Amino acid sequence: MNDPTQITRILFQDFDPKAIYLFYAIGYLAIAVFIYGVYVQIRKYRRGKSDGSWNELFQRFVEMVKTMATHRTLVRRDKSAGRAHGLIFFGFVLLFIGTATITLEYDILEPLFGVKFWYGNFYLMFSLVLDLAGFGLIAGLIYMMYRRKWLNLPKLDYKRVDRQEGDPDFDRSQYRREDWAFLWSFILIGITGFILEATRLVWLSDSPHVWDYRFWSPVGAMLAHIMQALGLTADGAGSFRPVLWWFHGVLSLTFIACIPFTKIKHIFTAATSLMFKDPLAGRRLPRVPDDQKTAGYKNITDLTWKNLLHLDACTKCGRCQEACPANAVGAPLSPRDVILSLREFANKALSSKELPKEAELDIHGKDVGQVFMETLWSCRTCLACVEICPVAVEHVPIIVQMRRNLVEAGEMEPILEKTLQTIHKTGNSFGESKRKRAAWAKDLPFEIKDARTEPVDILWFVGDYASFDPRNQKVTRSFAKLMHNAGINFGLLFEAELNSGNDLRRVGEEGLYELLATSNIGTLQACDFKSIVTTDPHSFNTIRNEYPDFGGKFEINHYTTLVKQLIENGQIKLKKKLDYRVTFHDPCHLGRYNKGFDAPRDVIKLLGCELVEMARNRDNSFCCGAGGGRIWIPDPVGIEKPSANRMREAGQIEGLDVFIVSCPKDLTMFEDALKTSGYEGKFIVRELIELIDECVEYEVWEEAALPE
């Protein structure tokens, strides 16, 4: 048995002390460059505005560690890439811990306290683990190279949709070069590490302390045997080793020095970005402080440090772009490009010692790094990008903040401007008189209570589309019947209800939003009710998530939740089952925004329908195109509308009878799209309420008796 203290690796074995000094000098230099780089980055972030995300730091940290340890955001919708990244990530982490362990003993504990532990069994286990880690790292990197080279993924060619060929910042080949440089240098560090290990084994093959234990470094041992078979002698290995050693060492140190200046920095920025993730990002938009002169983001310095950090966290993976409905139909918007443009802008403007002149900080326009107004207006604030981003980049709050600035400068479609003025004047987007808010209820065979004058259990916030759009009014009446029949004590706000403001806020008209929200909150607070219900996911979102910021804390449910309860507890009696083959479209504001994925599906199943999912469902649902105020801006002709794209998807379901929606805007958008995309007659679009209505037999009246 060998003396366990002999079983270890002698660092700098047979090195000239001068060489060791030189190595340390290079090491310190690398660390100095690294620290300087980190300083420059932090100085950049500190040039942003403050952000309130410093709360619950510990909790945030734990969440971040969980996310990174499980890699859950990375394996989502791209298992292979996620797993390969896992190999690289864990390989790297282990190798880093390994190196740190050695440093701890060699540079700290041993010289200061004479403590040694890196030998014997510990050393052998250590070798094994690190060998496997290195193997995983290389395997992961090889997959990534394969993916870039042979999978031809459109998201990885970085082709811009918001710039034309010939524009100075159209070309993104630099990104591709950086990716490859990263992969190659990383993999070379791994490979030379193994060769170095093998060379050492060959070199010391007659030392039993080393050779006898070689299989604890299985990869190195295998390579050593191959080298020997190829005729490498111990002497040969000994003379070859220093060259390799220096190559490996300098490459590794260069890699470390480069971290803050290249995409490698995502190791830190992505982790921090995840840590400062806002679970309500986009769902609850930031308020504009009352004393702030202008609203929104005009200059790069208007972004918060957290926004700036998000920009740096982006790894260009392109998942957001893939999920983006605007991008899918060829609009000049890629959420990734917005992030990258701003990042390039921030790096240029905020990295030097002095801030440039104010005029050079403007992020709006057509110049390099600036974001086009067409790009910003293409966004439907559907949150698909925020949802899928593996590193918690929050695109939508940035886009809306930039739109706020456009709104203040009046840079928007004239038709949108008109709508904003209409809403200001009448309190609804239809330009109808307030008095007509509840006109849909006129011919119901029962009276609906006025919640302003008598207490009710449930206050129904109807919303603009459900109130004024003739097609949706039919649904609204059905829902009233349903509630009445279930014996619910409910009421309306009648003409006191104003547009909830959800979409206006996402347009960026913050002042108008505040006006509407505070007015609605005042009205609601003066009423006596237990909870609110709405059929409109947009109103649902803003009342639930945003009104609390303005002092309006109410319990609110989307109707799907309420109806599910009512069916389950027998208050709504289903008299027949439906044998339709159906699919369900998750409205962004119910699904992705508020995780209301299950209630509508449960109801559909209770009705007896056979539910077939579309490929893009639940958190990956594909926006109908109406969000973020886009319902008020006509889509350009000649390119496919997101709603038509969705119809094509549904059309692929064999024997589909009904395309079910649970949002008034969806009903409007998809009934239109059905006609224009050629699926009319193949299947129909229905609001879930209409299907429930089919299953309930009312004793006293018939919808047919009501005017359309």
Partner 1 sequence: MKILVAVKQVAALEEDFEIRADGKDVDEDFMLYDLNEWDDYSLEEAMKIKESSDVEVEVVVVSVGPDRVDESLRKCLAKGADRAIRVWDDSAEGSDAIVVGRILTEVIKKEAPDMVFAGVQSSDQAYASTGISIASYLNWPHAAVVADLQYKPGDNKAVVRRELEGGLLQEVEINCPAVLTIQLGINKPRYASLRGIKQAATKPIEEVSLGDLSLTANDVGAANSMSRVRRMYVPEKGRATMIEGTLAEQAAKIIQIINEFKGA
Please tell me whether residue 512 binds partner 1 under the rule CB under 8 A: yes
* Residue 393 interacts with, from ligand SF4, partner 1, none (CB under 5-8 Å by kind): ligand SF4
How many residues lie near partner 1 (CB under 8 A)?
23
Instruction: Give 478 or 545: the residue with its C-beta nearer to ligand SF4.
Output: 545
Count of residues interacting with ligand SF4 (CB under 6 A): 29
Stretch of 110-118, 229-237, 374-382, 506-514 contacting ligand SF4, by CB under 6 A: 374-382
- Determine if 405 is a binding residue for ligand SF4 (CB under 6 A): no
98 lies in the binding site for partner 1 (CB under 8 A): no
Residue 382 found at the interface with ligand SF4 (CB under 6 A): yes
What are the Cα distances from residue 383, in Å, to 280, 335, 663? 11, 10, 17
Rounded to the nearest whole angstrom, what is the least distance from the CB of residue 375 to ligand SF4 in the complex?
9
User: How far apart, in whole angstroms, are the C-alpha atoms of residue 95 and residue 127?
Assistant: 10
Place of tokens 């080393």: 210
Which amino acid, 55?
N
Among 288, 444, 611, 706, binds partner 1 (CB under 8 A): 288
Q: How far is the CB of 386 from ligand SF4 (least distance, A)?
A: 7
Select the binding partner of residue 383 from partner 1, ligand SF4, none (C-beta < 5 to 8 A, by kind). ligand SF4
Query: Binding partner 1 by CB under 8 A: which of 511, 578, 610, 694?
Result: 511
Does residue 314 touch ligand SF4 according to CB under 6 A?
Answer: yes
Q: Which is nearer to ligand SF4, 221 or 339 (CB)?
A: 339
Q: Which of 396, 412, 486, 660 touches ligand SF4 (CB under 6 A)?
A: 396
Instruction: Select the residue interacting with ligand SF4 from 137, 189, 232, 320 (CB under 6 A).
Output: 320
Among 163, 283, 316, 506, which residue sits at the site for ligand SF4 (rule: CB under 6 A)?
316
Q: Least distance (Å) from ligand SF4 to the CB of residue 61?
A: 21
Binding partner of 325, given partner 1, ligand SF4, none, CB within 5-8 angstroms per partner class = ligand SF4
Largest CA distance in the chain: 101
3-state class of 469 per DSSP? Answer: coil
Q: What is each CA distance from 494 to 433, 434, 435, 491, in whole angstroms?
A: 12, 8, 8, 9
Q: Which does residue 185 touch among partner 1, ligand SF4, none (CB within 5 to 8 A, set by kind)?
A: none
Give the interface segment with partner 1, choosing from 140-148, 239-247, 433-441, 638-646 (CB under 8 A): 433-441
Q: In terms of Cα–Cα distance, which of 320, 328, 324, 368 is closest to 344?
A: 368
CA pair distance 623, 324, nearest whole angstrom: 9
Tell me if 508 contacts ligand SF4 by CB under 6 A.
no
Residue 74's binding partner among partner 1, ligand SF4, none (Cβ under 5 to 8 angstroms by kind) is none
Structure tokens at 281: 């990002």
> Which residues ranging from 436 to 465 are in contact with partner 1 (CB under 8 A)?
436
Could you tell which of partner 1, ligand SF4, none binds residue 335, using a CB distance below 5 to 8 A set by kind? ligand SF4
How many Cα neighbours within 13 Å face the side chain of 137? 27
506: contact with ligand SF4 by CB under 6 A: no
* Residue 433 touching partner 1 (CB under 8 A): yes
Give yes or no for residue 384 binding ligand SF4 (CB under 6 A).
Answer: yes
- Residues 389-428 close enough to bind partner 1 by CB under 8 A: 407-408, 410, 412, 417, 420-421, 424-426
Q: What is the 3-state secondary structure (H, E, C) of 509-527?
A: CHHHHHHHHHHHHHHHHCC
Smallest distance, Å, CB 442 to partner 1?
A: 13
Out of partner 1, ligand SF4, none, what residue 396 binds, judged by CB under 5 to 8 A for its kind, is: ligand SF4
Tell the smallest beta-carbon distance from residue 284 to partner 1 (Å): 19
482 binds ligand SF4 (CB under 6 A): no
Sheet with strand 556-558: strands edge to edge: 449-450, 490-492, 458-460, 531-534, 556-558
- Cα gap 26→246, rounded to integer Å: 11
Candidate segments 20-28, 361-369, 379-387, 476-484, binder of ligand SF4 by CB under 6 A: 379-387
Residue 432 touches partner 1, criterion: CB under 8 A: yes
| Interaction between residue 516 and ligand SF4 (CB under 6 A) | no
Plot region of 250 (φ>0 → left; ψ -120 to 50 → alpha; else → beta): alpha
- CA torsion, ordered 514, 517, 520, 526, to nearest 10 deg: -80
What is the 3-class SS of 567-593, one letter each residue? Answer: HHCCCCCCCCCCCCEEEECCCCCCCCC
Identify which of residues 18 and 293 has a Cβ nearer to partner 1 in the complex: 293
Q: Count CA atoms within 13 Å of residue 425 on its CB side.
A: 11
Q: How far is the CB of 327 from ligand SF4 (least distance, A)?
A: 6
Write out 422-462 in H/E/C secondary structure: HHHHHCCCCCCCHHHCCHHHCCCCCCCEECCCCCCCEEECC
Considering the complex, state which of residue 284 and residue 316 has its C-beta at the smaller distance from ligand SF4: 316
Q: Can you read off the two tokens belonging to residue 240?
A: 């070859």
315 binds ligand SF4 (CB under 6 A): yes
Point out which span in 2-10, 184-192, 383-391, 679-687 binds ligand SF4 (CB under 6 A): 383-391
Write down the least CB distance from residue 322 to ligand SF4, Å.
8
631 counts as binding ligand SF4 under rule CB under 6 A: no
Q: Give the contacts of 209 (CB within 8 A, at least 6 positions apart).
A: 2, 6, 7
Is 289 a binding residue for partner 1 by CB under 8 A? The answer is no
Written as one letter, the residue type at 617 is N
Decide if residue 395 touches ligand SF4 (CB under 6 A).
yes
Q: Are 360 and 354 in contact (CB under 8 A)?
A: no
Write out 312-330 in H/E/C secondary structure.
HHCCCCCHHHHHCHHHHCC
User: Least distance (Å) from ligand SF4 to the CB of residue 76?
Assistant: 11
Query: Rule CB under 6 A: which of 322-351 touch ligand SF4?
Result: 323-326, 333, 335-336, 339
Query: Which residue number, 386 or 691, has a Cβ lying nearer to ligand SF4?
Result: 386
Q: Closest Cα partner for 441 from 460, 427, 422?
A: 460
Q: How far is the CB of 374 from partner 1 (least distance, A)?
A: 17
Q: Are 592 and 387 in contact (CB under 8 A)?
A: yes
Q: Choosing among ligand SF4, partner 1, none, which partner's interface includes residue 238 (Cβ < 5 to 8 Å by kind)?
A: none
Q: Is 687 helix (H, G, I), strand (E, B) or coil?
A: strand
CB 373 within 8 A of CB 367: no
Spatial separation of the C-alpha atoms in residues 267 and 260, rounded to whole Å: 10
Q: Does 515 bind partner 1 (CB under 8 A)?
A: yes
Report DSSP state, residue 684.
Answer: E
Instruction: Report the C-alpha gap between 595 and 588 in whole angstroms.
Output: 9
What are the b/e assignments for 166-191, b being 16+ CB within 10 Å?
Answer: eeebeebeeeeeebeebbebbbbbbb
Q: Is 514 in the site for partner 1 (CB under 8 A)?
A: yes
Comparison of 321 and 405: residue with beta carbon closer to partner 1: 405
Cα–Cα distance measured from residue 335 to residue 337, given in angstroms and rounded to the nearest whole number: 5
Q: Which CB sits closer to partner 1, 82 or 511?
A: 511
Give the footprint of ligand SF4 on this chain (CB under 6 A): 314-320, 323-326, 333, 335-336, 339, 379-385, 388-391, 393, 395-396
Give the footprint of partner 1 on this chain (CB under 8 A): 288, 293, 295, 407-408, 410, 412, 417, 420-421, 424-426, 432-433, 435-436, 509-512, 514-515
